[in-house]
Amino acid sequence: MNFFEHQARARRDSTRLVVLFALAVVGIVLAVNLLVALVAGVQPRLLAVASIATVLVIGLGSMYRMASLRAGGDAVALQQGGVPLSMDASDPNSRRLLNIVEEVAIASGVPVPRVYVLEREAGINAFAAGYSSSDAVIAVTRGALDRLNRDELQGVVAHEFSHVLNGDMRLNIRLMGVMFGILMLGVAGRKVLSLGRFGTRRGSIGVPVLVGALVAMLIGYVGLFFGRLIKAGVSRSRERLADASAVQFTRQTSGLAGALKKIGGLDEGARLVDAGQAEEVSHMLFGDGVGYAGRTLGRWFATHPDLVERIQALEPGFTPGELERLQRHWAVAPPVGMDEDLQRGLAAPTHGPLPPAGSERSLTPPMVVAQVAHPGADDYRRADAIAAGIPEPLRRMATQRESVVPLVLGLLMEPGTEVAGRQRIEIAARMGEPLAGAADRVHRRHLVALHPVLRLPLAALAFPVLRLRPRPELERLMDTVQAMSLADGRVSLFEYCLGHLLTVQVRESLDPSRYARFGRARPHAVQREIATLLAVVAHAGHADLAGGRHAYLAGLHRMLPEAHVPYVPPAAGVTALDGVWEPLDRLDPLAKQQLVEAVTLAVLHDGRVSLAEAELLRTICAVLHCPLPPTLENV
């Protein structure tokens, strides 16, 4: 199953979630009406009032919870007690985690997510949260940091990245809102009963109110039953897919299997301390943080496959007896991840050379489609080389609040003195002369000689720190980026790619819930936008009119075989794309697959793809939320 099929399945699961939610609401309403009828008899008007009140409570509860999660992944991590990890942290455990997250993000072709640590949690667990890759966070428990070695931590992070890439995060956040509404009656009843223990002594809460609260709490168990069934049904198959994706990514099973063995072999397991908090996010966790499996009817409610089954899928010869042996061993000498790394003598990884600056790649459309949001071990090794190739001074700038903005603006500055001077003026006019001077110094001292392949990954590395800047400053930054791109009267492919990627990622991180959607549009509904996109791609890669026309028609025939839209080279150049993004992002996932194939055909019409064309292709995929790894080799 490729990325686009995953997305189509996620959209179907969203529809399924709505249906299951409606059925759960019906079940709760029927339970309320039954109790009302038993107490007051069958009175149609009273039953109607009870039904409407119940639906309102559930609906308002869901709306409230969804509103509280509008900030996306950061809101979820903070509500679970997460502590943001500074991108320039020097603690060995933290640095190891950050390096793994950076490498996996670069290999996946997405912005580096924010990283949180659940400091109070001794169990081994993790989750990914957010509406899209632009506001994604990865949260890891302190137990995972302390107990897992590098390979095991890499397997857990790769597992969570598969949720980021496959659209699971959006579904998970919506599921949190839906569950809160379903459980609202029970929560309200529990709160009233808690207050009633003290209120009845003073006569402030009457017995009828307490009886009503008890009834509400009992009805809440109906919601809890339905809620757990819904979460289990949505979550289990996705966890199996995430395990498989992590193995595909790292091309080794020992890391992920080792993490699962430690969950089963240590007393803390994957449990979270706060059971109430864990219940709400149980469907998002790497391991069973609540402990359904050990309960009666646990398999009905389990959000994760059985632990031994997950290990056996990775190591078919594994037996429950081996897990018991590990439990006895670790009860005496619990594992320490960093010590295991030292004992294994982990040497610095070997990095393959970066491709020459003017190199070109040989590709086919199916190869590109297969690589979208589905990185493999080759991508990981290449990402490792890219991360290692970023000079240390630039890496430090990307992780510090004071230097991240000058760094990003410096990436956009033209080597030519005259153009760079005009760009400095644009920066000074909008963000001040000191910042303009800092951007100019970064550009001249560090970025002029930077390998072109490293430019977009460096921007991705800077994004977690950049998005922490105040909203007014980010809005001025986006305005400055646009002005810098137009300083010489033309917008190059790289300027457009970096500027537009930055704008999209900042915009989505400022208002993540607004841009979270599964598209449903069909190609014929956005014919004009498809033609514009293909014309820009064909024109950018072919200097002659005939070559551009042939490339355009090859892509158009793949996407719209019945259409007759003539090739017109865009007078506005690459900026003609500004009006196509939103309509194209509303395409059905499988239609997006066709579009990526069509664009790739247009790029490859001359048989090769340059670095500039590869960056344009990657930008197109990123804006359409189909992330492509940073190099197109070894696909």
Encode pLDDT of 117-166 as tens digits.
999 999 999 999 888 888 889 999 999 999 999 999 999 998 998 888 77
Map tokens 């410096």 to a residue: 410
72-76, 384-388, 599-603: the lowest-pLDDT one = 384-388
Q: How confident is the model at residue 54 (pLDDT cuts 50, 70, 90)?
A: confident
CA distance 404 to 112: 14
- Residue 159 vs residues 37, 154, 193, 635: alpha-carbon distances, Å: 49, 8, 41, 20
| pLDDT (mean) for 406-429 | 88
pLDDT at site 210? 65
pLDDT at site 346? 61
* Dihedral in degrees, nearest 10, Cα atoms 229, 234, 237, 243: -110
- Residue 466 vs residues 96, 379, 427, 506: alpha-carbon distances, Å: 22, 25, 17, 8
Phi, psi of 306 (to 5 degrees): -55, 140
pLDDT at 567 over 90: yes
- Residue 230 vs residues 46, 175, 530: alpha-carbon distances, Å: 30, 9, 38
Kindly state the helix (H) or strand (E) to which residue 137 belongs, with its residue range. strand 137-141
Residue type, 51: S
The residues with which 114 forms a beta bridge, in sequence order, are 137
pLDDT at 406 over 60: yes
CA distance 220 to 625: 38
CA distance 289 to 98: 23
pLDDT at site 377? 67
* 27: number of Cβ within 10 Å: 16
pLDDT at 207 over 70: no
- Asked if 418 is an active-site residue, the reply is no
CA distance 144 to 122: 8
Look at 371 and 356; give whichever has higher pLDDT.
371
What is the separation of C-alpha 363 from the centre of its chain, rounded to a whole number of angstroms? 27
The residues with which 137 forms a beta bridge, in sequence order, are 114, 129
| pLDDT (mean) for 389-416 | 90
* Three-state secondary structure string covering 147-163: HCCHHHHHHHHHHHHHH
pLDDT at site 438? 95
Q: What is the rounded average pLDDT for all residues in the chain?
A: 82
Highest averaged pLDDT of the listed ranges 33-47, 236-250, 336-350, 544-558: 544-558
Task: Look at residue 118 and give its three-state secondary structure.
Answer: strand
What is the separation of C-alpha 153 from the centre of its chain, rounded to a whole number of angstroms? 18
Phi, psi of 630 (to 5 degrees): -75, -20
pLDDT at site 190? 67
CA distance 425 to 102: 34
Q: Catalytic: which of 121, 160, 268, 426?
A: 160
CA distance 6 to 450: 37
CA distance 77 to 84: 9
CA distance 406 to 180: 43
Measured between its terminal Cα atoms, the distance across the chain in Å is 16
Q: Provide, rounded to the nearest whole percent, the portion of the chain with pLDDT above 70.
A: 84
Map tokens 């930054």 to a residue: 477
Q: Taking the alpha carbons of 614, 617, 622, 627 in that order, is the dihedral positive or negative?
A: negative
Q: Provide, rounded to the nearest whole percent, the portion of the chain with pLDDT above 90.
A: 28
* Three-state secondary structure string covering 157-191: HHHHHHHHHCCHHHHHHHHHHHHHHHCHHHHHHHH
pLDDT at site 276? 59
Is residue 149 within 8 A of residue 169, CB to CB? The reply is no
Write out the two tokens for 552.
């355009």
Is residue 628 within 8 A of residue 372, CB to CB? The reply is yes
pLDDT at site 563? 86
Q: What is the pLDDT of residues 171-192, one digit of tens each?
A: 778 778 877 877 777 766 666 6
Q: How confident is the model at residue 635 (pLDDT cuts 50, 70, 90)?
A: very low
Residue 566: closest CA among 606, 526, 531? 531
Write out the two tokens for 288.
């069973």
Please indicate, yes or no, whether the overall pTM of this predicted structure exceeds 0.75: yes
pLDDT at 410 over 90: yes
pLDDT at 374 over 80: no
Going by C-beta distance under 8 Å and a sequence separation of 6 or more, which residues neighbour residue 598? 365, 530, 534, 555, 556, 558, 559
What is the radius of gyration, based on Cα positions, of the chain? Answer: 27
pLDDT at site 195? 64
Look at 573 and 181; give whichever has higher pLDDT.
573
CA distance 488 to 422: 8
| pLDDT (mean) for 68-80 | 84
Strand pairing class (114-118; 83-84): antiparallel
Phi, psi of 126 (to 5 degrees): -165, 160
Q: How confident is the model at residue 296 (pLDDT cuts 50, 70, 90)?
A: very low
Is residue 569 within 8 A of residue 545, CB to CB? The reply is yes
The residues with which 141 forms a beta bridge, in sequence order, are 118
Task: Look at residue 559 and give its three-state secondary structure.
Answer: helix
pLDDT at site 116? 96
pLDDT at site 96? 93
| pLDDT (mean) for 47-70 | 84
47-56, 305-314, 342-351, 547-556: the lowest-pLDDT one = 342-351
Going by C-beta distance under 8 Å and a sequence separation of 6 or more, which residues neighbour residue 589? 4, 5, 7, 8, 11, 518, 519
> Strand order of the sheet with strand 83-84?
83-84, 114-118, 137-141, 126-129
Going by C-beta distance under 8 Å and a sequence separation of 6 or more, which residues neighbour residue 468? 401
| pLDDT (mean) for 462-466 | 88
| pLDDT (mean) for 239-247 | 80
Is residue 405 within 8 A of residue 477, CB to CB? The reply is yes
Is residue 480 within 8 A of residue 423, CB to CB? The reply is no
CA distance 629 to 270: 31
Q: How confident is the model at residue 355 (pLDDT cuts 50, 70, 90)?
A: low
CA distance 96 to 85: 12
Domains by residue range for the chain, with CATH: 3-69+171-330 (no CATH), 75-170 (3.30.2010.10), 361-388+467-635 (no CATH)
Is residue 536 within 8 A of residue 567, CB to CB? The reply is no
Q: What is the pLDDT of residues 86-112, one digit of tens each?
A: 888 888 999 999 999 998 888 888 888
- Residue 40 vs residues 26, 44, 150, 546: alpha-carbon distances, Å: 21, 11, 63, 82
Kindly state the helix (H) or strand (E) to which residue 360 belongs, with its residue range. none
